[in-house]
Structure 1
Amino acid sequence: MIFEDPQQRRWRYSLLLFSALLATALLIGALVVSGLLVPPPIPDTLSQRKLLSAAAIREDMERRIKPRFTPEQFARLARMRAKNRWRLDRLVKGAIEGAMPFAEGSVVAFVLDDDPLSVASLEHHLAQLDVVVPDWFELPGAGCELVERSSEKLRRLLSRAEVLVLPRLANLHQGKWRGAETGEFLRSDEARQCLAQKISARLLQLSADGLNVDLEDLAPEDSEYFLEFLVDLRKELRRFGMRLTVDVPFQDPAFDYEYIAKVSDAVMVMAYDEHFPSSLPGPIASRDWLEQSLDYVIPRLIPDRMVMVLGAYGYDWNVERREKLAEGITFTNTVNLARAAGSLPHFVEGIENSHFAYRDEDEAVHEVWFQDSLALWNQVRRAEKRNISRFGIWRLGTEDETLWHFLGQDRPPKRPDLLQEVPAAKTVEFYGEGEVLTVRTRPQPGRREFATDEQELIREGVYSLVPTGYLVERRGGEGRQVVLTFDDGPSAEWTPAILKVLEQFQAPAVFFMVGEQVLRYPELVEAVAEAGHFVGNHSFSHPHMDEITPAEARVQLNSTQRLIEGLTGRRSPLFRAPYTADVIIDDEAGLAPMRIGLEEGYLVVGANVDSQDWKLLEPQAIADHVVYELLRGAGQIVLFHDGGGDRRATVEALRLLIPRLRALGFQIVSLDRLLEIERRELEEALPWGERFISWSSAVTAWLRSWGFAIIGGLFFACTVLAALRILLLGGVTLIDRYWQRRRRENGAANPNSGETPMVSVIIPAFNEEKVIAATLEALRATDWPRVEFVVIDDGSKDRTAEVVETIAAADPRVRLLRQENAGKAAAANHGLREARGEIVVAVDADTIVSAPAISRLARHFADPEVTAVCGNVEVGNVNSWLTAFQAVEYVTSQNFDRRAFSALNCISVVPGALGAWRRQAVLDAGGYSHDTLTEDADLTLAILRAGGRVIYEPEAIGRTEAPESLSAFLKQRFRWTYGTYQCLWKHKRAFFRGTLGWIGLPNMVLFQILFPALSPIGDLVMVASIIRGDWSAFLAGYLAFLFMDVCASLLAFWLDRKPKWWLLLLLVQRFSYRQIMYYVSLKSMLAALRGMRHGWRKLERKGTVSSSLAPVAQVKRP
């Protein structure tokens, strides 16, 4: 038998080949997966060899520079106040009554509206606060002027909170206290009253609960006017039930604490700035200084109106440059700086503030003093012993996070041990200027070790592990330097066009590529790199990076990075998050899309100049917009797109823009030049250990690219071939039908009008007890006069022979031949040898033949050129979806094909269910062969190769029993498919000879072997294309083919006189039934490789075919 290999050498060789291919695929897959999961080591492009300087982490913090007075000035001020005491008493008379102090235990927080860190801290701790003081009002000069800087975001946040909101009025302008201008304002009665009215009106609009006054750097002689202003404010605010609070420093003679307390609802005593930016280095609030200051202010204040404001920040002094002011730094700044400098801060015994020192990149010594939770714990404990229960925080966003363990509502019991573990900072801090970001420190918790005394006051301590948060460096260039960048590519249409423009003008650029596009067009990645441009990572599938999990984000980055590495041989540290080119970030949420990239060590390249080529359609408009943004100083990096849409306008805009920018004095530079680094730092050669992983990704990219191209080409070719086949078959069928009708109209004689030859109907049978009687009953009703019915019992184990003998006893035309079980081919040959007729009609034992079928077949043999005639086989048991699908297939595939191939003389199979042969021609061809499982197809091809003619007779109808279960169906189709493979191999020499070799056999190869084998791949590609959104071409091709298929099927239904509703079955069949054949094709291929012998695989008969042939229109619907 064809493909039989008793030694199974073919299978062993196939297994070896398959194992080698599988091992190679697994190795490549493992390398690719490892590349996805294991991030490539991104080079440290912006080196950290030097320590970060304090200047590099400058934080725009208000400087509270306090005037210092000589003893003589103190004495003179005291004498002046004693002299004017009666006037001050009268001024504040009645102010004590009706005060609205804060509740005991209240916590007041100062927040800067323009500081994202401050607002973020407020959002985190709002529930722990009682009073919030936002810095909304500024006193700019001497007149009745009020500047407001409130943001809608903060107003909305506070409007929903259950806290008192007291906007702060400060005389701070551009970092400087305007004491002189404020004094001039205070000396004007009209200006004071006007401003008081204006403030109260605005507070009402803001739904605020009062006002906080913070006027500093005042001259001592203005203290009475300041008090008069407070009285004006109190009267105005009281009309609307609002509070007045005042900020005062420790021991400042410009402030009369006693009278301020009388006129205010709360006095905010600023318990910090013992040392300040212009002073020598020292603690923010040492123990002795704090105790002395409290001794001074407590007797002068009303107890329930005093709020002690704690300073939660630090100062960094450059010891060697005394002329330079110290820089205010947050707690996160402080620990980041200590970590970078390799210092361990310590809590100094006796001083009770924390401290460390370091050298900067210029070898200058710095001293840092700061107040962490250890210092503030002691300050709160000491204040509580003096019956102070109301505390404030200057300011939110600068504090040590563990402060909230002992300050604020719903705090746990006060225990110093809660201060040992220091969490990583929740906020993100930036320093430097520019649009290229790199992370310098990442979040890491820290730990403090300290000792306490019997009163649970902390004596001394040290940071055993310094905590850190995100510290992000901004980098950029100077002057009129511009970097061009392109996102969302590569694109087959627009990337090459942009490269040509850049080459024409000798302009460098950076292309941020999407991994999916890299897979499609790997050659363009190489083209960009070879042209001297940088290639950056723009994720794999262009998601919103802040909407996916960190693990997914890392896979997005790793997969694209590995592809770029494999295709260029270089490692790029450049990344731009999708939808996030603008790096003007106000808060932590703004960093979220690029967070993973920063954590992995990438340089995040922003673009504050958006060309808006995704929105603007005119090239001139794009160019004008970019020029405008650059001239106003928006940034130095320009965002364009080379993918994601029609970029025709972008290409033309570049032609206009590049020469125009150069004419305006701008330099178009590469990114390395902008950053003033070596080019190799942005294009590091891959180490050998990493190359295999990256090469595997490149191989995957090329395989995917070429694979999709090949599959797309095959899909197109298959669609075209299938369409041409439908057109050819339909056209030939209609033409042949036309000529047959013309011949009938011209009076062509009946081809069998002469003598009637003897016809032998041979019926191989094996265990056909259930159906053989019905089959013979239908055959015996034939209208052909000279006929015999030869039943060959192939060793049946049931009562098949007894049933036939009973019928034969009643009808001498019926004969029974017996043999040992040898298979269907042997049984058919036995009957062929014993047949008496010159025409043999082969019929399956389950086929119900119409009465005129034999005469319709036999009449064609009047033509001596006719060697065989196909009958019209239909499904006779349409009682389920499966059998209905087979009925549709018989009509639209088998019978429709035979009509056309009959005219071309290349019918590939005369079915064993119903077909007629010239007996001598069959004997000359060797009879039915044992070489294949489809002996009828094998014989048909042999007859055609011998020069015979095979035609189709649609009026010779036979109903066969189709498999009703899936297992039976698969068994039958395996025999057909495997037998087809065997026949093609056996008759391979017939290719390209006659119509059989040029049409019939290629049709079998293409549509019975290749199409079923490739269809699963086509389905996967279709699904992948739909997921990717690149499905239009595939869908258009498929719909075009489906339309032609439907048209051809309608023609087949019409020719076979089938009801039109069968078209609905066809549509369902095309999307379900076809997929079953994938399994059959695969199984048949494996069977051919294994080389095992396969038998007849006869199906168990159910006997469900009706013994009478009903009209087609009455076929039972499933």
Structure 2
Amino acid sequence: MRYLLPVVFLVALLAMLMLRGYVHSEILADHRVRPPAPTDQVPEHILAGGPVIDARDKQNPKALGIPDRRLVLTFDDGPDPVWTPKVLDKLEKYDAHAVFFVTGTMASRHPDLVEQMVREGHEIGLHTFNHPDLSFQSTDRIDWELSQNQLALAGAAGIRTSLFRPPYSSFSDALDNESWPVTQYIGSRGYITAFNNTDSEDWKRPGADAIIERATPDGTEGSIVLMHDSGGDRSQTVEALDRFLPDMKERGYRFTNLTEALGVPSAHTEVTGLELWKGKAFVGAVAVSENTTEVLVVGLAVVGVLVFARFGLMLILSFAHARKVRRKGFSWGPPITRPVSVLVPAYNERECIANTVRSLMASDHPLEVIVIDDGSSDGTADIVGGMGLRGVRVVRQPNSGKPAALNNGIRNARYEIVVMMDGDTVFEPSTVRELVQPFGDPRVGAVAGNAKVGNRDTLIGAWQHIEYVMGFNLDRRMYDLLGCMPTIPGAVGAFRRSALERVGGMSEDTLAEDTDITMAMHRDGWKVVYAEKARAWTEAPESVQQLWSQRYRWSYGTMQAIWKHRRALVERGPSGRFGRVGLPLVSLFMVLAPLLAPLIDVFLLYGLFFGPTQKTIAAWLGVLAIQAVCAAYAFRLDKERMVHLISLPLQQILYRQLMYVVLLQSWITALTGGRLRWQKLRRTGAVEAPGVVNNQRQRAAGERRSVA
């Protein structure tokens, strides 16, 4: 289900987007227009006859005219949500009827206007679904255009129509050897084709006076007048109608439907049964697609603005944070030189635990090390005990989970400042000293260190390295200045023991105990800060499955922590700043906004195949460039080599998708009331801190010299 549900969601989203593209003439649309061709194959009586062609009898096609003093006012390309209602108002005002040749794309998007046309006594004709030049199309495509147009009419007004007007048509005497076979085929499908013999040319926007002049027939002859209620600004058409309709009535003309003028039965027939429900289902699907995609586009735009604003804020505040902590003479307060307790919860960490403990023994700050063996079955505790190191204690307990192990370690700690780290992490010699200096400020209750990926030589490791430097540590600089740090990383963090005891220690309520305790510290009024020089090297997951397990736990645990501390939003006092700033930011950018992030990729795919490809690629490259700038700045602040940024484009294409699916799966787990257990990751013990490696080499060289 972890793969099926996200895939179904994305496929449904893409289907809605493609349906919207279909009814907006972005998919399957053909905008070619054929130039005039010879006319020798068109019967003379058709070319010289009236504007209505009845080719239903293939052997005896007829050209029909409009009786004198009858005007059939026709409108093409609608219905339009802006101009069609104005046209209908003018027709109602002067008690005139008209024929609307609608496209399926517009009729399916605005079914209420089609229903209004029929209700007010106007006639509907087909103008194809996507408005292609039918002389380019096969008979199958012509059938498709007609059937889809009829489907839209059935769903909108419950009718079928026998009237048709081909796109890009004009007078019947303009029929040629390419368009005449199309007219014959349309007739064989049971349609009457209506051209026109008076063109207002309102699409040129020549002004109301010119539209009226061109729409007025000579003398008293009847005519089919061509106008448009869609396809652009039709204000001049509406203005012209306000004078044209009453003027022509004064001259004795009647504005009638086409079938009424021809004296034949109505073009409309009622649709019932399965065809009616198919039409309604289609129109309903279009409405869902339109509304959903509009909401998503707006949501994406809002999230995009917020994300870019966050990027800008992050860059500015990170720069300010770096200047603050790196300026000459900066200090948190009196230097912290007293010993600290380092807690190392460990469960089956035999591959890593020796490196972890040795790195602590190389520390240049006095400390005690407490390894809490949480019921390991691989001899982790025995390895530590066998190392015979002074200042290192092993506390054994039955398997109870990481929070319980940390609480056990707190109870056994001798000192006021407690450093916590993971059993797969190694510290540099200066890490502990740098991590505890902020406690010189008595208001500081907890300190976040700088966690770094040690195994960055693989592609997955390089992607996580980018994420750690850019997404985690750059964020922490921003949150530090805002005074609302959301998480003390489990790999490298420090706490006042008295502050921990005040908030009840590490909680087992969530799977993100580090986020949970950080939020609890804020709510208790403590400051939480970031120490950039307190570097810890951790072993990131090396397989997709391990990465999935870790991030699934993180995202689900973060949701749990946000929900647990939701009352911080309305609390006053010391926790108010975190509730007003930190909790909304974490909720928006770590939980809510990423849900819309797949839209970027869905719209990207749609734009590449169906939209403006060059603009789509340019937009994607622009976003990538902004991310690259942020990443490069973050790498510069952390003094990291830029070479790993080569994989940033691939990270955005592949790695980001995995994170989307993980978050979506976490949402599904949360909404369905599911429970997620702690998932142990397989470790290799390959990570060592650079400083530790050098110290160990020096120590080994000294031992060899002593032996010699």
Q: TM-score range by the shorter chain?
A: 0.7 to 0.9
Out of 962-971 and 565-574, give the one that drifted further.
565-574
Q: Which residues of 2 match residues 49-60 of structure 1 at below 5 A? A: none
Matched, 1:800 2:389: no
TM-score, normalised to structure 2, is 0.80
Look up the match of 2:164: 575
Task: Give the whole-Å Cα distance in 2 for the aligned partners of 1:881 and 1:766.
Answer: 27
Q: Where does the alignment leave 5 or more consecutive residues of structure 1 unmatched?
A: 1-10, 12-17, 37-112, 119-173, 175-428, 442-468, 1112-1118
Task: Give the whole-Å Cα distance in 2 for the aligned partners of 1:517 and 1:625.
Answer: 29
Using the TM superposition, give the Cα deviation of residue 626 of structure 1 relative to its aligned residue in structure 2, in angstroms: 3.6
Q: Where does the alignment leave 5 or more consecutive residues of structure 2 unmatched?
A: 24-37, 694-708
Partner-residue secondary structure (3-state), 2:495: strand
Match of 1:434 among 50, 73, 88: 50
Task: Give the whole-Å Cα distance in 2 for the aligned partners of 1:1063 and 1:947.
Answer: 39
Task: Give the whole-Å Cα distance in 2 for the aligned partners of 1:884 and 1:689.
Answer: 57
Q: Which residues of 2 match residues 668-707 of structure 1 at below 5 A? A: 668-677=255-264, 681-687=266-272, 690-707=275-292
Look up the match of 1:488: 77
The C-alpha deviation readout for 1:897-948, integer Å capped at 9, x for no partner, is: 2112122232221110111111232233233222222221122222222222
Q: Aligned AA for 1:116?
A: Q
Task: Give the whole-Å Cα distance in 2 for the aligned partners of 1:527 and 1:1024.
Answer: 34
Matched, 1:780 2:365: no
Q: Which residues of 2 match residues 1096-1111 of structure 1 at below 5 A? A: 1096-1108=678-690
Q: Aligned AA for 2:427?
A: V
Match of 1:1053 among 613, 635, 657: 635
Match of 2:41 among 116, 133, 137: 116
Look up the match of 1:1003: 585
Using the TM superposition, give the Cα deviation of residue 633 of structure 1 relative to its aligned residue in structure 2, in angstroms: 12
The C-alpha deviation readout for 1:193-232, integer Å capped at 9, x for no partner, is: xxxxxxxxxxxxxxxxxxxxxxxxxxxxxxxxxxxxxxxx
Partner-residue secondary structure (3-state), 1:954: strand
Q: Which residues of 2 match residues 375-454 of structure 1 at below 5 A? A: 433-441=49-57
Task: Give the whole-Å Cα distance in 1 for the aligned partners of 2:210 and 2:600.
Answer: 42
Asked whether the 8 Å contact 1:752–1:860 carries over to 2, the reply is: no
Using the TM superposition, give the Cα deviation of residue 710 of structure 1 relative to its aligned residue in structure 2, in angstroms: 1.6
Match of 1:907 among 477, 485, 489: 485
Asked whether the 8 Å contact 1:609–1:635 carries over to 2, the reply is: no
Task: Give the whole-Å Cα distance in 1 for the aligned partners of 2:324 and 2:119.
Answer: 65
Partner-residue secondary structure (3-state), 2:685: coil
Using the TM superposition, give the Cα deviation of residue 692 of structure 1 relative to its aligned residue in structure 2, in angstroms: 3.1
Closer, same or farther: CA 505–715 of 1 in aligned 2, 3 Å: farther
Partner-residue secondary structure (3-state), 1:440: coil
Count of residue pairs the alignment pairs up: 660
State the structure with bigger RCO (CA 8 A, min sep 6), 1 or 2: 2
Matched, 1:1074 2:652: no
Task: Give the whole-Å Cα distance in 2 for the aligned partners of 1:638 and 1:1035.
Answer: 45
Look up the match of 2:207: 619
Asked whether the 8 Å contact 1:480–1:666 carries over to 2, the reply is: yes
The C-alpha deviation readout for 1:119-167, integer Å capped at 9, x for no partner, is: xxxxxxxxxxxxxxxxxxxxxxxxxxxxxxxxxxxxxxxxxxxxxxxxx
Q: Percent identity?
A: 36
Using the TM superposition, give the Cα deviation of residue 866 of structure 1 relative to its aligned residue in structure 2, in angstroms: 0.9
Q: Aligned AA for 2:391?
A: R
Using the TM superposition, give the Cα deviation of residue 1060 of structure 1 relative to its aligned residue in structure 2, in angstroms: 5.1
Matched, 1:820 2:398: yes
Using the TM superposition, give the Cα deviation of residue 502 of structure 1 relative to its aligned residue in structure 2, in angstroms: 5.6
Using the TM superposition, give the Cα deviation of residue 872 of structure 1 relative to its aligned residue in structure 2, in angstroms: 1.1
Asked whether the 8 Å contact 1:1022–1:1034 carries over to 2, the reply is: yes
Look up the match of 1:368: none
Q: Aligned AA for 1:925?
A: V
Task: Give the whole-Å Cα distance in 2 for the aligned partners of 1:885 and 1:488.
Answer: 51
Matched, 1:1016 2:605: no
Asked whether the 8 Å contact 1:432–1:475 carries over to 2, the reply is: no
Look up the match of 1:543: 132
Match of 1:565 among 132, 146, 154: 154
Larger radius of gyration: 1
Higher share in helix = 2
The C-alpha deviation readout for 1:338-366, integer Å capped at 9, x for no partner, is: xxxxxxxxxxxxxxxxxxxxxxxxxxxxx
Asked whether the 8 Å contact 2:133–2:168 carries over to 1, the reply is: yes
Closer, same or farther: CA 488–942 of 1 in aligned 2, 3 Å: same
Q: Which residues of 2 match residues 723-872 of structure 1 at below 5 A? A: 723-737=308-322, 740=325, 744=327, 747=329, 749=331, 751-753=333-335, 756-784=337-365, 786-807=366-387, 809=388, 811-872=389-450
Asked whether the 8 Å contact 2:198–2:215 carries over to 1, the reply is: no
Task: Give the whole-Å Cα distance in 2 for the aligned partners of 1:490 and 1:898.
Answer: 54
Task: Give the whole-Å Cα distance in 1 for the aligned partners of 2:155 and 2:118.
Answer: 12
Look up the match of 1:67: none
Partner-residue secondary structure (3-state), 1:1073: helix
Q: Which residues of 2 match residues 245-260 of structure 1 at below 5 A? A: none
Asked whether the 8 Å contact 1:787–1:813 carries over to 2, the reply is: yes
Closer, same or farther: CA 114–840 of 1 in aligned 2, 3 Å: closer
Task: Give the whole-Å Cα distance in 1 for the aligned partners of 2:612 and 2:250.
Answer: 42
Task: Give the whole-Å Cα distance in 1 for the aligned partners of 2:613 and 2:227.
Answer: 26
Match of 2:562 among 970, 974, 984: 984
Asked whether the 8 Å contact 2:381–2:394 carries over to 1, the reply is: yes
Task: Give the whole-Å Cα distance in 1 for the aligned partners of 2:88 and 2:646.
Answer: 52
Closer, same or farther: CA 996–530 of 1 in aligned 2, 3 Å: farther
Using the TM superposition, give the Cα deviation of residue 1100 of structure 1 relative to its aligned residue in structure 2, in angstroms: 1.0
Asked whether the 8 Å contact 2:371–2:394 carries over to 1, the reply is: yes
Closer, same or farther: CA 1062–600 of 1 in aligned 2, 3 Å: farther
Closer, same or farther: CA 642–627 of 1 in aligned 2, 3 Å: closer
Using the TM superposition, give the Cα deviation of residue 1017 of structure 1 relative to its aligned residue in structure 2, in angstroms: 4.6
Task: Give the whole-Å Cα distance in 2 for the aligned partners of 1:736 and 1:1107.
Answer: 25
Partner-residue secondary structure (3-state), 2:420: strand
Asked whether the 8 Å contact 1:529–1:535 carries over to 2, the reply is: yes
Q: Which residues of 2 match residues 310-329 of structure 1 at below 5 A? A: none
Look up the match of 2:699: none
Look up the match of 2:104: 515
Out of 723-732 and 1030-1039, give the one that drifted further.
1030-1039
Match of 2:224 among 637, 642, 649: 637
The C-alpha deviation readout for 1:216-262, integer Å capped at 9, x for no partner, is: xxxxxxxxxxxxxxxxxxxxxxxxxxxxxxxxxxxxxxxxxxxxxxx
